[in-house]
Amino acid sequence: MFRFGITAGVFGLVLSACTLPQMTYTEAMVLCQDKADAAAGPQGALGFSVGTGGTNASLSISVSDSYFNGDDPAVVYETCMNELSQNGQISGVSE
């Protein structure tokens, strides 16, 4: 009986560690909009700084697989929101 209690306790801890992260509706909207923006085209960032060690410039470009697949950004957004809703990852009241 004691082993069962230990096993159940360990199993409960493992399951709680595997739960999907919760987010608010607004956070879900931002996440899904970022995915939709990535599906619309390549994303880039340019950085420039001046410091005591001199100047520094950086360039970053990322391209999502949704863009390569030719996925519609609106469909990517809706699919993302639906998946988060169905998985129970969105907490709180929708806006």
pTM: 0.65
Give the model confidence (pLDDT) of 8-26 as tens digits.
555 555 555 566 678 999 9
Closest Cα partner for 41 from 74, 63, 12, 9? Answer: 63
Phi then psi for residue 9, to 5 deg, are: -65, -45
Give the model confidence (pLDDT) of 27-36 as tens digits.
999 999 999 9
